[in-house]
């Protein structure tokens, strides 16, 4: 069965390491803060000047003055720090962010990412993503494997304007976990109950399959 957005975030949370500094993009990435393992500490950062974000707020508990860079309401943890965007981008450009979790419209088999612009349509734009893809130590993309029309978003080559070149390291979709290699998309895990054939059909770019592919472990 394909994962929902919360399950994608839950799987990405398994990539977190103790005391990491992590930037979360808008959309699915924001949900990762809800699934941090209890035995580790993570410092979540947002480009608008927040360090120490907590879980996504429950409905009715939102503070309209506490938002992330995508204008989504957030919570902050005890000891969190608020500062201006100049300091925030100094953190990013100074390579103090160890992991960035981004959404994407398209990812190419060589690690190119397009996440901010669709010609002729009004979208939120790439925002700080262009700095993150150039500066973060590790980029993981959270996305749906296909668009609403059923067309692959994991491509040989991106068709939309690029945000970053050869920067994505790993992708977690509703169907699979894949790593970017010099040969293409390396299939690492598949969603519970999802067949390799289903993943093949949903992937336009070159898909590398080696040995038995285990199912993701989602609680």
Task: Kindly list the catalytic residues.
Answer: 47
Report the distance separating Cα 36 and Cα 13, nearest Å. Answer: 6
Pairing status of strand 154-155 against strand 42-46: unpaired
| Nearest-angstrom CA–CA distance, 32 and 72 | 14
Integer CA distances (angstroms), 34 to 11, 73, 145, 217, in order: 11, 14, 22, 17
The residues pairing with 76 across neighbouring beta strands, listed in sequence order, are 53
Spatial distance between the Cα atoms of 189 and 216, rounded to a whole number of angstroms: 6
CA distance 205 to 165: 16
Q: Count, in order, helices (H) and strands (E) of the chain.
A: 4, 13
Three-class DSSP category at 91? helix
Comparing CA positions, the residue from 164, 88, 180, 86 lying closest to residue 126 is 164
């Amino acid at each position: 069965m394909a994962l929902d957005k919360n399950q994608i975030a839950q799987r990405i949370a398994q990539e977190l390491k103790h005391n990491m500094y992590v930037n979360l993009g808008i959309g699915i990435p924001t949900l990762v803060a809800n699934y941090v393992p209890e035995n580790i500490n993570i410092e979540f950062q947002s480009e608008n000047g927040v360090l120490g974000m907590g879980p996504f707020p429950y409905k009715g508990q939102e503070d309209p003055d506490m938002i992330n860079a995508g204008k989504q309401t957030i919570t902050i943890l005890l000891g969190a720090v608020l500062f201006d965007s100049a300091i925030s981008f100094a953190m990013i450009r100074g390579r103090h962010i160890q992991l960035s979790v981004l959404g994407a419209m398209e990812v190419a088999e060589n690690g190119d990412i397009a996440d901010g612009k669709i010609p002729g349509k009004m979208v939120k734009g790439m925002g700080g993503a262009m700095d993150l893809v150039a500066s973060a130590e590790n980029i993981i993309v959270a996305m749906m494997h296909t668009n609403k029309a059923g067309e692959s978003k994991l491509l040989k080559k991106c068709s939309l304007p690029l945000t970053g070149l050869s920067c994505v390291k790993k992708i977690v979709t509703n169907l699979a976990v894949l790593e970017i290699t010099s040969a293409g998309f390396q299939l690492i895990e598949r969603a519970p109950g999802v067949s390799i054939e289903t993943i093949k059909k949903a992937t336009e770019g070159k898909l590398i399959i080696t040995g038995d592919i285990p199912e993701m472990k989602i609680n």
